[in-house]
Amino acid sequence: MQAVFAYFSGASYRRVAEIFGGEFGKDAVRYWWNRVSQLFDHVGGPHAVVVADETNIQVGVKSRGMSHKLWAALDAKTLKIVSLWFSRHAYMLDCRDFLFDIKHRSRPEQPILIHDKGPWYAIEARNVGLQNHEVRGGVRSLIEMWNRHLKHRMSGFWRTFPHNARPEQAARWLKSYAAVWNLTRGW
C-alpha cells in the first residue's frame, strides 16, 4: 500500500519502483493502483451535506483529444469523495445518474446537495428527490479545492490522459485517486 500512496503523492510508476529499490516493477505499481479503484465502489453514507461540481478532463492529446466531464461530490464534513461520474458530455441525464448515485451512496438519510449555477442541478435534484441549494463560494470551495488537487496531480502527465487511453481507463484512474484520497482523510 505504501507504493500506492507514493504514486498518489506525485511519483510516477517508474519512480515508485525505484524508491522501493526495484523490489517490483512499474507495471506492478500500475496494477496495484488500478486495483485500488475497487475500494471506491464501497463508499457509503450517511452524508448530511454533499457539495457537487463538474470539471473537464482531457482524454488524449489536447489538440485531438476528447474532453469528458467528471462529476464529483464531496461530503462537506469529512471531505471524502462520495460519488464520481465520468461522462462524455454534461447532459441532464448524466446529471440525473450522478445525483442518483449520490442519493444511493448516502443512505439511510438524504443529503442536502450544494451546487453552483449549473442549470441541470436544480432540475435534476428535484426529479431525484434531493433537497438542494445553489451557493457561490463558502462551502462550495471544498469541491473546487478537490478539483484543483486532482488537476495538480494530473499535471505530471500534462493534465491529459495519453492518446491511447480509453475513457474506461481514465475513469478507473480517477476512482483510484478518489479511493486513496478518502483513505487519507481519516474517520
User: Cell match 436544480: residue?
Assistant: 122
**Cis? peptide before 119, omega within 30° of 0:** no
Residue 158 — pLDDT band, cuts 50, 70, 90? low
Tell me: do 83 and 122 sit in the same domain.
yes
Tell me: do 28 and 88 sit in the same domain.
no
CA 155 to chain centre: 15
- What is the count of structural domains for the chain? 2
User: By residue range, what is the domain housing residue 12?
Assistant: 2-40
φ, ψ of residue 45 to 5 degrees: the values are: -90, -165
> Does some domain include residue 181?
no
What are the distances in angstroms from CA 125 to CA 33, 97, 119, 131?
Answer: 33, 10, 10, 7
Q: Picking from 31-45, 52-66, 77-91, 164-178, which range would have the lowest pLDDT averaged per residue? A: 52-66
What are the distances in angstroms from CA 34 to CA 4, 56, 87, 107, 126?
Answer: 10, 21, 19, 27, 35
Tell me: do 74 and 125 sit in the same domain.
yes
What are the distances in angstroms from CA 22 to CA 14, 18, 29, 178?
Answer: 10, 5, 11, 27
Q: What average pLDDT does this structure show over 19-30? A: 92
Which of the two residues, 119 and 80, has the higher pLDDT score? 80
Could you tell me the three cell numbers for 156? 505530471
Which of the two residues, 57 and 85, has the higher pLDDT score? 85
